[in-house]
Structure formats: C-alpha cells, structure tokens
Structure 1
C-alpha cells in the first residue's frame, strides 16, 4: 500500500509550499514578507487530522467538484446512481472522492511534483476508468500552477479543482472578511440552501452579488437574500474570459495580493461559512470565515444543464481533459 508522504517545494525567492500524495493535497504556502514568512493557507497539524475533517482543506477534488443534484446522471440513455454524500446530492466526488485517496508520485523535483491516480469504472457510481494527473509547480515568480489532466475509456463528467482555503493576513487570523475580492464575472448562479442551482445564470447586479469592483467581503455580507441562504458567499461565478485575471484577493493589511488565472469557465467563491471546529495547525480549531476558497471549475450541477454557456463537462474517450489554474502572489 502506498505511503502517505509530504513533499516540499521551494523557489529562488524563498517561497515554500508543501503538498501530499494524500488527496494530492496542498498543505502549506509560506510567503516571504520582508525577513519573515507568512503562512497563508489553512491546514491541519497532521495528515491524520486531514483524514478526519470535512472541509476538504487544500485537497484535489474529483471526479466531480461541487454538487450534482440527486446524485444521478444520464449518459446516452443510461441512468447512473452516484454515491450521495450530502443529503440526496453528490458533493465533491462522493463519499470517497479523490481527496480521500493516496495518489502515486510520478515525478518530483525542487519546484515541481506530479501525482497520478486511476479511478476505476464505477468509482462512486461514475462510468469509465479515469486516469488523472495533477502537477504542482512553484515558479520563481511566486506562482503556484496546478495542472489537471485526465483521460477516460467511457463518457463521464469530469470537474477537477483544488479546495485550498486562503487567509492572506496569515492563517492565525480569525477571519478573511476584511479582505477585498474582485471577480471578473458578469453572471453568477443562484443556489438554494443545499447549494443546488434553482435558477438559470443571473446578472451579478441582482441581489448585490457584483464583485467586478473590488469589495470587502464583510460588506453587507448577510444582507443579500442570496447570501442569507448560504450563510455567506458560496456561489459560482461564470468568468468573463475576455479578462486575463479571473479574480484578485488582497489582504486587509495590503501586504499580500493574490491573482488567480484559470482555463476553467467558472469560479466558486466560498467564504468558509461552515469552517467552525475544523482542526488547525496549532492544537485548536478554525472559526467560520477563517479562510476563503476560490475554486476554479465548471458550474455546479452541469451534467443536468447542458445548455449553460460553457464547454461540456463530459469527457469523451477520444479526448484529453486538460486545465490549469495559477495563483500568483505579490507582496509589499
């Protein structure tokens, strides 16, 4: 049986990240600021704790990130029952998604590591054997590039992402609500309390969901009826692909700026509304809003909405799924 391992990547500027083959998980992100380092990624004290938390801290999510309503899909007239793990719905790949598997280490160097995984036909109810490759690359420009590739022998939905939670003030800061966030998106997806879309894409001008201008996360956070339903932001934004940068997050002290670039069509903005009691690195627990997840992906429940304006979430046997997301860190 493969052994759980922790791999450290370091660049020429002294930035360091740690990843593990347990869930192909991003464990740590230390940013050099002046003569110190700031930990800007939420994480646990041990790999054992990662196995017993349900916040998906830093994990690679698959075979399908976000939710699929009623945990069912239909492909070419065949009905598939998936493994429901959030009520009647499937969340982040099912009861034993990619975040709970030990990946193989395919390649490792000072600034790059590649993991691979084979998801068998029928895994969590999904059709087809899926071969997945995830690469983390730490550049000398303080960028973390996560590259996702997959192939299948049967038509299957694929939606891979990383579920890192960021707190650019430092992971011991209790809240990200003083951060400012900008998301280049003209439309968002309204969802019910279970996170399932109940309407088609809506203009971000509705219900105060517009993030096209940088906005402090605490600004009227629970005044919008949309955010009241989900306890904060937990919404997918359809990205404006004419913009090079998908999103920009800035720490409250303005010392760290993070730009996100991605080939994916959407970005899930989740303000950690249910992080309470998740174990942290310091023999304690996180509070709600301790970190923000910005997950590049397809829109949630896409298998049931083929007409949404994005590429198909279904991977065919003659295709290669290939997407990447870049997190660029700029410090002052």
Structure 2
C-alpha cells in the first residue's frame, strides 16, 4: 500500500508542472490523479494474471486540451443549466454559457479547468488517499457565493475507489459535484464498443431531455421503454430507441432508488471477466454512452471512436436550479450548510 506524488515535466495552462498522485493497494490495483481538474487519469485493476486499465484517458499533455472531461472533478454544477440562468428568491442569476445558450459542467472555466491544491495524502487502516482542495470565488462563472471544496479520493485494499466531495458556501448557491470518468472494463486503452457491456441500474424513473440535453418533461417511468435497466442487459439491446434518438444514445439522468448506501449501477465486461459495482449517497446517475468521443486522443496517440466508454456520473438531477420540484433531491445548498456526497467504485 503506497501513496506517491511526482512533479511531471508536463505544463498545465497556468504554466506550472502537473503533479501526479499514485495510490497503490496490496492487491496491485493502482489509481492515478493529476492536480489539474483533480482528474482521475488511470485505474489499473488486477484481472486474473493481468493488470487491466479500465479508464479511458489520454497523454498527460492532452488533458488540458481534450474536450470530453476525461476523469475530471466537475463543478460548480455538473450537467446542464438551461439558458445559463435561473431565478432564486426574486433574483435572476445569469451564468456563463459554454454549450450554445446553456451552461454545461460549471461553465467554460469550471472546476475541471482549475488548478487544485494537494491538501494532503494519507495511508491508514487498509486504505490510502489524497485530498484536493479548491476555492471558487463569488461570481465565478456567474455563480454567487464563495465556495470552498474538497475532492477526496481513497483506494481500499478490496479494490474500491471512494470519491467523496465536501463543500461549503457563504451564500445560497447551486452545487452539484461529480467525477466524469469514462469506463471500459474490457479494452480502455484503444477503446472497444461499450455497448457490448452489460448494465444494470437501480432506477425506476429517468429525465427526458431535448437534443441539447435540457430536461423537457417531468420524471418518466422506465417501464416499457429503452431506459429500463432494472434487470441487467446489454447496452446495445435497446440502443437508439425512444428519446435516445435526440441525443445519439444514452445521455440521461436516472433517479436512483432510495436508501443511504444504495447500489446505483452494475457494469459488467462483455466476457464477464470484470464487474464494476457503484454505490453512492447521490440521488441520481447520469448515464452517458460516449456518443461524441470520436477524435478524442488516446494514451497511445490514436483516437477514440464514439461509444468506446461509458460515464456513470453520480449527481443531482440536471437543471435542478430551474426545477424547484427537484430541489428535494439536492443540487442547491444554503449558506453555511455542508455539502457532502460520496460514491464507491468497487471492482471485482
């Protein structure tokens, strides 16, 4: 079990070198992070006699240039806010747009494009970890309030990575943090068709969206739709049916079943050789089947094709600031209130 921090020779957009944090457990599982975007850049899992990379990723020098949010910590608000604005307590808050008229993943300079501080690394009691911290000033990307954030990543000896987010704001503000890793349990290095994987979700409802990913209807039952993953099925089975045609595949939020420590998703490699079980405190899960990965650089200097990785982003529902009926599921925090959410990625 070990933790190491290495200063690389790669410069980030702020002209300072990237710091690479490596966590290793007694089973030989290894995860790596960089301090630009508090980004999860690698996840190598022992599978039989091999060590298998299960995260899509690129060369370190490409992380600041790629546009698909590989492994990044996302904030202030993961997912979309319609028309980059919302009304709150009689005031219209206008945000910085970065996807047409809408805001996606916190704006053009979200948490994924910021230098995080490595607050501490730790080794203890069968797990080791790293704590990244960031201060988001009042007015950043249009959001009100100064927010102090921690992204905490811990590796356990039973081959699980736990991602925990803590934050506190001095004003009421939208807050919705997640990690944007793309998984491929079979062939993440060059990518293989993720639609061959099996997926099971603990979700009876999903959010219909328009072609820009903006919610356009109330929560809808998955029953008798292509969004029903309550029993494990190949992702390809009902692919591009129903509302998926608007978004070129799955790019939808699912409201997870209740319970403090709920299994949100189970992803299984096509040959059954590896399984990812995701449990979380978060209320919802955005499932994105990599519909627009074409041309994104790989670690080996090639390019990924569409549908070569799946993002399973635990979070609040999209566009919650414009949907008071969804505030009960999180996404808005009060001044002085501690935001705290966690997700466990269990490999086995």
- Whether TM exceeds 0.5 here: the answer is yes
Is 1:210 equivalent to 2:228 in the alignment?
yes
Matches within 5 A, 1:42-61: 42-46=56-60, 48-61=61-74
| 3-state secondary structure, aligned to 1:228 | helix
Q: Matched residues in 1 for 2:201 and 2:95: separation?
A: 32
Q: Matched residues in 1 for 2:187 and 2:44: separation?
A: 9
1:52-101 alpha-carbon deviations (Å, 9 max, x no partner): 11100000000000000000022221211101000000000000000000
| 3-state secondary structure, aligned to 2:217 | coil
| 3-state secondary structure, aligned to 1:29 | strand
Q: Matched residues in 2 for 1:175 and 1:45: separation?
A: 21
Would you say how many aligned residue pairs link Structure 1 and Structure 2?
328
1:163-186 alpha-carbon deviations (Å, 9 max, x no partner): 000000021342111100000001
1:285 counterpart residue number: 303
Return the offset for 1:206.
4.5
Q: Matched residues in 1 for 2:338 and 2:17: separation?
A: 29
2:177 counterpart residue number: 160
Return the offset for 1:309.
7.2
Matches within 5 A, 1:95-110: 95-110=108-123
Return closer, same or farther for 1:312/1:174 CA change in 2, 3 Å cut-off.
Answer: closer
Return closer, same or farther for 1:220/1:312 CA change in 2, 3 Å cut-off.
Answer: closer
2:248 counterpart residue number: 231
Is 1:144 equivalent to 2:158 in the alignment?
no
1:6 counterpart residue number: 20
Q: TM-score, normalised by structure 2?
A: 0.92
**Can you give the 5+ residue segments of structure 1 that lack an aligned partner in the other structure?**
none
CA contact (8 A) 2:151 2:166 kept: yes
CA contact (8 A) 1:75 1:155 kept: no
Q: Matched residues in 1 for 2:327 and 2:114: separation?
A: 32
**Can you give the 5+ residue segments of structure 2 that lack an aligned partner in the other structure?**
1-13
Return the offset for 1:3.
3.9
2:40 counterpart residue number: 26
| 3-state secondary structure, aligned to 2:276 | strand
CA contact (8 A) 2:186 2:192 kept: no
1:170 maps to which of 153, 165, 187: 187
Q: Matched residues in 2 for 1:158 and 1:17: separation?
A: 26
1:157-212 alpha-carbon deviations (Å, 9 max, x no partner): 00000000000002134211110000000100000100000000000015321010
CA contact (8 A) 2:320 2:327 kept: no
| 3-state secondary structure, aligned to 2:243 | helix
